[in-house]
Amino acid sequence: MTHVTSTSRISRRSMLKAAGAAGAATVAATALPATATAAPASAFAHPGLLHTGTDLARMAAKVKAGAAPYTAGFAKLTANRHAQSGWTPNPQRTVYRGAGSPQNYATLYNDIHAAYQNALRHHVSGEDVYADTAVTILNAWSAELTSLAGSADRFLAAGLYGYQFANAAELVRDHPDFDLASFQELLTKVFAPLSDDFLVRHNGAVVTNYWSNWDLCAMACVLATGIFCDDRAQVGRAVDYFKDGDGLGAVRHAIPVVHDDGLAEWLEAGRDQGHALLGVGLMGTFCEMAWNQGYDLYGYDNSRFLKGAQYVAKWSMGGQVPYTANTRAKGAIGGWSGRETASTAAHVDPTMTRPIWAMISNHYTKRRGLSAPYLTRITARSSPEGGGGDYGPNSGGYDQLGFGTLTFTRDRTASAGPTPSAGASSGTRPQSGATASPAAGEDLAATGSSAVVGWSAAAGVTAVAGGLLLLRRRGRGA
């Protein structure tokens, strides 16, 4: 029988406590030996989110030399309608996401992807017109946007579009016309507070009410805005949450069961393929941004993320994978409650893909020289990766910035670890003001109701009443 290591339960204390108390940081982030010059003591390394200066120079040189697969990746970029210098921004005062609101968030994510794609195209081609377009888009939004609103989905908007906005702006932060101060204010006052608050209060819900991807997009926003704004404490909070957070986005909760065959179960595989791919992409994004500032979270806990990504890659290609039954609590603190059990991995469509694999496989196989056969295979199947606008018109096609074939393909190196940054130090647990969460029991999530526990049985998911998230080995009781 295959040996498994299971993270058996989520802290009951963390689920029942009244949110808002600040916890002390429990784990300090440690950087491995350097492979490049460290950042100045007063700042993080810039550019230093998903792409460093070395990365951008590599892309430009490879495309100029006509090297494959970079040229195919660049062709995907230049063919995308968002990567054109004629793009005109449409900034909004308030962005709404979620049922019951005048949803206009598509305007935001289309403009973000246009800014990112134009900025990236500038770095590869050297043509200033694309950088100018990106700056025009970013400046327009920082001058106009004041709030995010809607249902619980506003937390998704803050997380997803916050980390993406920061990455687009990072590519033009030294442009003479870019209003850096205004954009930092936008991130710190509009996006990061919602994400920081979610990691503390989880919108007034028990901590397992929300699947892993909700935490992961909030974590990505907190990390990306912290780096962009040179806020070491904020970055420390994000890194600590990845390691020891209470919610399902923390690495041991998102990947709760490790097998001795090199695979580890992805919790959200019990939900559906699309959300599992989203989660893998978000965790990869988080690890890549952290790596570029000196934190090796890719390798944390004996490369737990590698094992989880391998599992999802195998499963997404139609392979058989184990899934340990688990039950997670749902509901509001002091309000309605229920439980939801996932008993098996959901069915998959082997043709479904998202632009997430090149980043992850190139890290493990090229940077670190490790074997990752399922990642290697699915990356080849997905190549060349596109970006926002290439994976359908709906929001799911814009959850990743993409273009990994161009941006993350690399030659094999003998890297000992990430480049340390002066910012690579631990901070306190997430803290924020009390304005982002509704009253207990209201507006929890699109995946549940505050009045009735009524989830439909699908992909092995059933609803029962009350309790905690528990992981159970097959053939055993709770």
- Which residues, at least 6 apart from 13, have a Cβ–Cβ distance to it below 8 Å? none
Distance between CA 241 and CA 236 in Å, rounded? 8
pLDDT at 324: 97
pLDDT of residue 415: 64
Helix-, strand-, coil-residue percentages of the chain, each rounded to 5:
45, 10, 45
Determine the pLDDT at residue 413.
82
Q: Which of 129, 174, 71 is nearest to 406 (CA)?
A: 71
pTM, rounded to two decimals: 0.85
On whether the CB atoms of residues 450 and 441 are closer than 8 A, the answer is yes
Encode the chain (478 residues) as per-residue pLDDT tens digits: 444 555 433 343 333 333 333 333 333 333 333 333 343 444 799 999 999 999 999 999 999 999 999 999 999 999 999 999 999 999 999 999 998 889 999 999 999 999 999 999 999 999 999 999 999 999 999 999 999 999 999 999 999 999 999 999 999 999 999 999 999 999 999 999 999 999 999 999 999 999 999 999 999 999 999 999 999 999 999 999 999 999 999 999 999 999 999 999 999 999 999 999 999 999 999 999 999 999 999 999 999 999 999 999 999 999 999 999 999 999 999 888 999 999 999 999 999 999 999 999 999 999 999 999 999 999 999 999 999 999 999 999 999 999 999 999 999 886 667 866 655 544 333 433 333 333 333 445 443 333 222 222 233 333 333 334 444 333 333 3
Phi, psi of 154 (to 5 degrees): -65, -30
> Is the bond leading into 355 cis (omega within 30 degrees of zero)?
no
HSE (CB half, 13 Å, CA atoms) of 145?
Answer: 34
Q: Dig out the tokens for 2 from the structure.
A: 């295959």
What's the token pair of residue 62?
């490879």
As a whole number of angstroms, the distance between CA 123 and CA 140 comes to: 21
Cβ count near 99 (within 10 Å): 10
pLDDT given at position 416 = 61
- What is d(CA 158, CA 417) in angstroms, rounded to the nearest whole number? 31
Contact present, 288 and 362 (Cβ < 8 Å): no
Query: Counting beta carbons within 10 angstroms of the beta carbon of residue 30, is it exposed (0 to 12), middle (13 to 18) or buried (19 or more)?
Result: middle
DSSP string for residues in 396-423 = GGGSS-B-HHHHH--------SPPP-TT
Question: CA Rg, the chain, in Å?
Answer: 21
Residue 184, H or E segment: helix 180-186
The single-letter code of the amino acid at 298 is Y
